[in-house]
């Protein structure tokens, strides 16, 4: 039995026994910073095991996967994975899933396609996503349009509402960069006298009600200046980009104020060509979807 | 003024000279820029410089020389300033955050001016809370902890003021620059080149002050908290300089081009971004935890060995982890694997810190129950453990394929910043404010309890709602029909977020309410300052005359 405190178990060989913490039973390291002390608690085994496990995970990953740079090359990993190839592979698999039904839209007979219920059950939900991701931002989630953007769910069309017409509009756009884009412009009538413009605006604003005054001074002005594009009585439907004026949902609004504005400055809308972004089959599926949107609304 | 009362005439004169230099710098900036944010920022520097000239000049004539006794006391005046700035930035930065959260729920409420657009205000929130709130708290507490654990007064009287005032000038330049549309487009490193250079000057002074004071310490060993604070200062300097290397368009333009390009730019940015989390939002705050928790609990640190393991583990592994922000991108696969595996290995050192803090409370659990201040620190350690687990988990590549680009990331960040960083700061503030303003306790002790529950409830609501939001987004984005078409359009995934965005706004609002209560409580405490001397402060060892 030794009586030297410096040789007791847990004793500091320089200073002798250190203070024992009554709660944990461990001694302290002997350091003291303004009252803060540290226990000499041994390294917990569970931390060591956890450390080994995370290291093991990493070692396995390093062996399997590309990891360490070697100058101009890197360790490839025994799985031989390449993220570019993996992404392409996944893309191919998804494209293959779509290929079955999407191929049918390549050269469409829209009538026959629309009659195939099984095909529609797959294609129309897909076209709905296409619509929401590409069209809804301007034309509205329900095709209801908005100021500057035509309504798609009614029966009035600028360039025709049959699926092939819609498909072509999607393909080339309106006033877009496509060489065959559809072109349309509402010229400015700023040369017209203000009184005449007011009379014309009053008349056009009353068209949707169906109770336009046949003796209005706007009638001859309308016949001279507007009918050529907007059709008799403003019925539209001439497939030249000019909207029907008998429809309260006219693109830029049909109150007197808005019509005055349109007459004064003219209008030229823009719809991008989608041929850069969507392939032909997708455009055809979308055209059928939009045509059906309008037909469903008309049937209600 | 209290600010100048501890400065000698010589120090006041040097301070005035520095202030005049600041005025000149501002004049040059404004004169060279002639327009835009850089001119406005030059004007701010001139204004600040003039105010300082008058304050110091007035003190030079009116105030008596400080008593030599001050050299036997700790230098706490700059720390008090830092705490006040911490509270101001907390309220401003968190209010911006709650406002932006509300805008995500109700975007139509965005005011029509460019200055108030979401894109300009978002960095005001992030920089406001990280640098304004977090940064001031780190600088102030580091100077407090440094002096107490070294038993030495700060190495000189002017540097701490230069560091704190200079740092806040940087923060104000940053926030006002964003509102005026100025940004480098690097997340968490948005301020332009001249502000970055200014920060380098401030930061080098900060590091020098720290090292010089530490060299004068009367304790034989350097306490863990100081290792962490030093790692924070040193690594943040390195990150800041490398990521912000840029060439100004002209000397008069508050615009620049980064010298990095392509995927290297992305890698440098996220090496910076992740280590900003590691060394700004973790290492420094671990220093804070390592000091204030054992002092408040009056318990020894549970394990010295664990402290060593976590310090070196955290410092070493974090450096490699940044590339996990760029999984499944143009960054080569091998860099992603490295980032992933080092993130996983980082978990054990992180948990060792959290576990060490919680085990330190053994023998003091009754205090955790009764003392909301200590409970803030306990909850901080728990959230530190939770968020570091989540961080390592999200860094695993296949997990990241679900979580990346979703609000899960935002939820994860806030579990760290609200649950861990802000909680430990509040714990430190409630410990410090009574001591620094010579009182026994806060002016409204019960408000601390209220703040605690507001903060915990707010954090939980915020984090849980964004977990749900992020997982919902991730699942909706990757869902395909049998026909290989996407099951959901993007806008449907946005619409699905509404309830979660409402809940996160509520959570953030509760947290902000708590912070506001804290600021008011501190204000009341400061207004009723006493002259009580903190008995736990050990006497200083006599310093050689300066």
ipTM, interface predicted TM-score of the complex: 0.90
User: Among partner residues B149, B305, B490, which is closest to A33 by beta-carbon distance?
Assistant: B149
Read off the pLDDT band of A34 (50, 70, 90): confident
User: Among partner residues B151, B219, B301, which is closest to A39 by beta-carbon distance?
Assistant: B301
Are A136 and B489 in contact (CB < 8 Å)?
yes
Does CATH place domain A194-265 in 1.10.3720.10?
no
Residues of A in contact with B220 (CB under 8 A): 31
Distance set, CA B512 to CA A91, B179, B519 (Å): 45, 22, 10
Length of chain A: 300
Ranges A192-206, B1-15, B217-231: which has the least confidence: B1-15
Please give, rounded to a whole number of angstroms, the shortest distance from the CA of A29 to a CA of chain B. 8
Read off the pLDDT band of A21 (50, 70, 90): confident
Read off the pLDDT band of A10 (50, 70, 90): low
Residues of B in contact with A83 (CB under 8 A): 328, 333, 336
- For residues B382 and B451, the answer to whether their CB atoms sit within 8 Å is no
Model pTM score: 0.92
Are B305 and A101 in contact (CB < 8 Å)?
no
Ranges A255-259, A294-298, B233-237, B357-361: which has the least confidence: A294-298
Are A65 and B151 in contact (CB < 8 Å)?
no
For domain B75-527, the CATH class is: mainly alpha
User: Among partner residues B300, B333, B341, which is closest to A83 by beta-carbon distance?
Assistant: B333
Read off the pLDDT band of A29 (50, 70, 90): confident
User: Among partner residues A37, A41, A125, which is closest to B303 by beta-carbon distance?
Assistant: A41
For the domain with range A100-183+270-299, which CATH number is right: 2.30.40.10, 1.10.645.10, 3.20.20.80, 1.10.760.10? 1.10.760.10
Please give, rounded to a whole number of angstroms, the shortest distance from the CA of B457 to a CA of chain A. 31
- What pLDDT shows up at residue A264? 96
Residue B452 has pLDDT above 80, yes or no: yes
Closest CA to A54 of B345, B350, B391, B351: B345
Residue A213: Cβ within 10 Å count: 11
- For residues A113 and A105, the answer to whether their CB atoms sit within 8 Å is yes
- Which of the residues A25, A33, A65 would you substitute to probe the B interface, choosing the one with the greatest number of B C-beta atoms within 10 Å? A33
Six-digit token pair at B189? Answer: 């490193």
- The alpha helices in B154-298, defined as continuous H runs, are 159-179, 193-215, 224-243, 262-275, 284-297
Give percent above pLDDT 90 in chain A. Answer: 69
Please give, rounded to a whole number of angstroms, the shortest distance from the CA of B109 to a CA of chain A. 19
Residue B529 has pLDDT above 90, yes or no: no
Residue A1 has pLDDT above 70, yes or no: no
Please, what's the largest Cα pairwise distance for chain B? 85
For A134, name the nearest residue in chain B, comparing CA atoms only. Answer: B489
Give percent above pLDDT 90 in chain B. Answer: 92
Read off the pLDDT band of B335 (50, 70, 90): very high
Cα–Cα distance for residue pair B118/B109, rounded to 1 Å:
11
Please give, rounded to a whole number of angstroms, the shortest distance from the CA of B517 to a CA of chain A. 30
Are A38 and B342 in contact (CB < 8 Å)?
no
Average of per-residue pLDDT values in chain B: 95
Are A54 and B363 in contact (CB < 8 Å)?
no
For A28, name the nearest residue in chain B, comparing CA atoms only. Answer: B300
Each residue of B397-413: pLDDT tens digit?
999 999 999 999 999 99
- What pLDDT shows up at residue A2? 45
Residues of A in contact with B340 (CB under 8 A): 61
SS3 A264: helix
Residues of B in contact with A121 (CB under 8 A): none
Closest CA to A297 of A164, A157, A149, A158: A157
Each residue of A87-96: pLDDT tens digit?
999 999 999 9
Distance set, CA B234 to CA B194, B200, B228, B231 (Å): 21, 11, 10, 5
Ranges A193-197, B518-522, B538-542: which has the least confidence: B538-542
Closest CA to B288 of B132, B131, B148: B148
Residues of B in contact with A31 (CB under 8 A): 219-221, 223, 304
Which carries the bigger pLDDT value, residue B535 or residue B367?
B367
Are A122 and B299 in contact (CB < 8 Å)?
no
- What pLDDT shows up at residue A17? 62
Each residue of B142-164: pLDDT tens digit?
999 999 999 999 999 999 999 99
Residues of B in contact with A94 (CB under 8 A): 480, 484
Read off the pLDDT band of A299 (50, 70, 90): very low
Question: So where are chain A's domains?
Answer: 45-74, 100-183+270-299, 194-265
Which helix (H) or strand (E) segment holds residue B247: the answer is: strand B246-248
Residue B485 has pLDDT above 70, yes or no: yes
Give percent above pLDDT 70 in chain B. Answer: 98
Are B337 and A62 in contact (CB < 8 Å)?
yes
For A132, name the nearest residue in chain B, comparing CA atoms only. Answer: B489
How big is the CA angle at B256 (ends B254 and B260), to the nearest 5 degrees? Answer: 155
């Amino acid at each position: 039995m030794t009586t030297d405190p410096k040789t007791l178990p847990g004793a500091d060989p320089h200073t002798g026994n250190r203070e024992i913490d009554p709660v944990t039973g461990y001694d302290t390291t002997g350091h003291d910073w303004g009252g803060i002390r540290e226990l000499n608690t041994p390294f917990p085994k569970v931390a060591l095991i956890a450390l080994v496990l995370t290291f093991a995970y990493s070692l396995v990953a390093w062996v399997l996967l590309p990891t360490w740079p070697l100058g101009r090359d890197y360790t490839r990993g025994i799985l031989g994975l390449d993220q570019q190839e993996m992404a392409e592979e996944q893309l191919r698999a998804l494209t293959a899933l779509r290929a079955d039904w999407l191929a049918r839209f390549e050269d469409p007979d829209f009538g026959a396609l629309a009659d195939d219920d099984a095909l529609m059950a797959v294609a129309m939900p897909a076209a709905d996503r296409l619509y929401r991701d590409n069209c809804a931002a301007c034309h509205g989630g329900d095709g209801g349009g908005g100021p500057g953007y035509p309504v798609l769910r009614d029966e009035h069309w600028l360039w025709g509402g049959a699926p092939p017409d819609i498909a072509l509009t999607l393909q080339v756009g309106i006033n877009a960069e496509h060489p065959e884009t559809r072109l349309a412009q509402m010229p400015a009538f700023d040369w017209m006298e203000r009184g005449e413009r007011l009379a014309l605006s009053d008349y056009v604003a009353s068209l949707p009600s169906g109770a336009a005054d046949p003796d209005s001074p706007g009638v001859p002005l309308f016949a001279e200046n507007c009918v050529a594009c907007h059709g008799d009585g403003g019925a539209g439907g001439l497939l030249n980009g000019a909207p029907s004026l008998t429809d309260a949902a006219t693109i830029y609004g049909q109150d007197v104020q808005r019509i005055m504005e349109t007459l004064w400055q003219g209008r030229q809308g823009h719809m991008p060509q989608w041929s850069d972004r969507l392939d032909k089959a997708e455009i055809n599926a979308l055209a059928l979807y939009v045509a059906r949107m309008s037909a469903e609304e008309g049937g209600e | 003024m209290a600010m100048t009362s501890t400065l000698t005439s010589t120090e006041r004169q040097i301070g005035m000279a520095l202030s005049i230099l600041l005025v000149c710098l501002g004049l040059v900036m404004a004169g060279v820029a002639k327009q835009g944010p850089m001119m406005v920022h030059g004007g701010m520097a001139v204004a600040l410089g003039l105010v300082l000239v008058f304050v110091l000049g007035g003190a030079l004539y009116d105030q008596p020389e400080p008593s030599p006794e001050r050299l036997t006391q700790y230098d706490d005046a700059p720390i008090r300033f830092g705490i006040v700035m911490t509270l101001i930035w907390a309220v401003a930065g968190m209010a911006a955050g709650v406002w932006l959260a509300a805008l995500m729920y109700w975007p139509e409420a965005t005011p029509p001016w460019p200055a108030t657009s979401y894109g300009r205000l978002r960095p005001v929130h992030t920089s406001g809370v990280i640098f304004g709130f977090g940064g001031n708290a780190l600088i102030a507490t580091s100077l407090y902890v440094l002096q107490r654990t070294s038993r030495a007064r700060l190495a000189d009287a002017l540097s701490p003021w230069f560091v704190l005032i200079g740092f806040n000038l940087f923060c104000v330049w940053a926030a006002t620059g964003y509102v005026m549309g100025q940004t480098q487009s690097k997340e968490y490193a948005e301020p332009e080149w001249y502000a970055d250079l200014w920060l380098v000057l401030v930061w080098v002074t900060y590091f020098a002050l720290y090292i010089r004071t530490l060299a004068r310490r009367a304790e034989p060993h350097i306490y863990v908290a100081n290792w962490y604070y030093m790692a924070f200062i040193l690594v943040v300097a390195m990150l800041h300089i490398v990521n912000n290397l840029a060439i100004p368009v002209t000397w008069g333009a508050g615009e620049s081009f980064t010298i990095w390009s392509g995927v290297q730019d992305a890698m440098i940015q996220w090496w910076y971004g992740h280590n900003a989390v590691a060394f700004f939002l973790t290492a420094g705050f671990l220093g804070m935890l390592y000091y204030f928790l054992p002092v408040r609990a009056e318990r020894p640190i549970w394990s010295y060995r664990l402290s060593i393991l976590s310090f070196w583990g955290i410092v070493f592994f974090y450096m490699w982890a940044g590339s996990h922000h760029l999984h499944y991108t143009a960054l080569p696969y091998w860099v992603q694997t490295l980032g992933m595996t080092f993130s996983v290995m980082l978990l054990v050192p992180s948990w060792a810190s959290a576990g060490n803090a919680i085990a330190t409370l053994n023998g003091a659990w009754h205090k955790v129950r009764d003392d909301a201040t200590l409970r803030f620190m306990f909850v901080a350690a728990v959230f530190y453990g939770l968020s570091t687990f989540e961080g390592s988990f999200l860094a695993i590549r296949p997990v990241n394929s679900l979580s990346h680009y979703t609000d899960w990331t935002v939820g994860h960040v806030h579990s760290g910043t609200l649950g861990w960083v802000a909680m430990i700061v509040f714990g430190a503030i409630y410990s410090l404010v009574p001591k620094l303003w010579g009182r026994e306790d806060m002016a409204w002790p019960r408000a601390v309890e209220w703040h605690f529950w507001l903060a915990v409830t707010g954090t939980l609501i915020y984090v849980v709602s964004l977990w749900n939001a992020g997982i919902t987004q991730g699942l909706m984005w990757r869902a395909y029909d049998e026909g290989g078409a996407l099951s959901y359009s993007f806008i449907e995934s946005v619409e699905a977020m509404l309830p979660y965005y409402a809940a996160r706004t509520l959570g953030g609002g509760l947290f902000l309410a708590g912070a506001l209560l804290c600021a008011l409580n501190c204000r009341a405490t400061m207004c009723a300052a006493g002259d009580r001397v903190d008995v736990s402060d050990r006497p200083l060892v006599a310093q050689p005359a300066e």
